[in-house]
A and B are shown apart, each in its own frame.
Chain A
Amino acid sequence: AQRVTQPEKLLSVFKGAPVELKCNYSYSGSPELFWYVQYSRQRLQLLLRHISRESIKGFTADLNKGETSFHLKKPFAQEEDSAMYYCALGGSNYKLTFGKGTLLTVNP
């Protein structure tokens, strides 16, 4: 069975501080992992995917197969980063399994 765990429901940081949103997964195959973001009153949208190894809006995430983790990081948080972040795992039949999400609040 595939599972995604985001241990923090809420995360609050100050502007300019580093931020790390944790994500651990359980999957027997070769995982494809994603971070989706939902800003207030907006739809869910893809932030980044591990396979492209890109940095979007200053965020990066590295897949660590040994620790089965895919933590999302940003060195200097901005107020506009405040949103709900979901880690997602791609499984069979191209279905996504989502974690429960972490609400990030960046305080001024």
Chain B
Amino acid sequence: GAVVSQHPSWVICKSGTSVKIECRSLDFQATTMFWYRQFPKQSLMLMATSNEGSKATYEQGVEKDKFLINHASLTLSTLTVTSAHPEDSSFYICSADAPGPLSYEQYFGPGTRLTVT
């Protein structure tokens, strides 16, 4: 149980276009989902916290107009990278808060590799 999926697993897009990444909790409901970015050989950097039915909370330095997050249901959160640039190329990982009382435990998706050409 407690599986989180991401789609697509990798995507290549041209500069200036937008790309949407989906994060789904497959067998549980997730009130809170998190979006991370991971650069090669570096740690995960939290980008934003996504709460179902409300606006996402962005970390300092993350452009909310560039990285649009929507958490429309208890099993789906989406991250849209708008007007993508090559520097947006990265590995994007989502996670979902574990079922049960709110806790720090998170279940992670497999990640999405974005390459902007």
Residues of A within 8 A of B (CB): 32, 34, 36, 42-46, 49, 86, 90, 93-101
Least Cβ distance of B38 to chain A in Å?
Answer: 9
Instruction: Classify the secondary structure of B's interface with A.
Output: strand
Least Cβ distance of A75 to chain B in Å?
Answer: 26
Known: A95-B46, A97-B46. A43 touches B109 (CB 8 A): yes
Q: With A and B bound together, what is the CA distance between A96 and B4 in angstroms?
A: 17
B4 and chain A: residue at smallest CB distance: A43
Known: A86-B43, A98-B44. A46 touches B105 (CB 8 A): yes
Across the interface, B108 reaches (CB within 8 A) one of A34, A45, A49, A90, namely: A45
Whether A90 and B111, one on each chain, are in contact in the complex, defined by CB atoms closer than 8 angstroms, is no
Stretch at the interface among B16-24, B64-72, B96-104: B96-104
Q: With A and B bound together, what is the CA distance between A84 and B67 in angstroms?
A: 27
Cβ of B25 within 8 Å of any chain A Cβ, yes or no, is no
Cβ of B75 within 8 Å of any chain A Cβ, yes or no, is no
| 11 pairs, CB–CB < 8 Å, chain A vs chain B | A32-B104, A34-B104, A43-B110, A44-B44, A49-B104, A49-B105, A86-B44, A94-B97, A94-B103, A94-B104, A96-B106
Instruction: Classify the secondary structure of A's interface with B.
Output: strand
A89 and chain B: residue at smallest CB distance: B104
Residues of B within 8 A of A (CB): 4, 32, 34, 42-44, 46, 49, 57, 93, 95, 97, 102-106, 108-111
Whether B104 and A96, one on each chain, are in contact in the complex, defined by CB atoms closer than 8 angstroms, is yes
Whether B46 and A99, one on each chain, are in contact in the complex, defined by CB atoms closer than 8 angstroms, is no
Q: With A and B bound together, what is the CA distance between A42 and B44 in angstroms?
A: 15
Known: A90-B104, A94-B97. A100 touches B109 (CB 8 A): no
- List A contacts of B49 (CB < 8 A): 93, 95
Whether A101 and B105, one on each chain, are in contact in the complex, defined by CB atoms closer than 8 angstroms, is no
Known: A93-B49, A95-B49. A43 touches B102 (CB 8 A): no
Of all A-B residue pairs in the complex, the 5 with the closest CB atoms, nearest first, are A90-B104, A44-B108, A100-B43, A43-B110, A98-B43
Q: With A and B bound together, what is the CA distance between A36 and B95 in angstroms?
A: 13
A33 and chain B: residue at smallest CB distance: B104
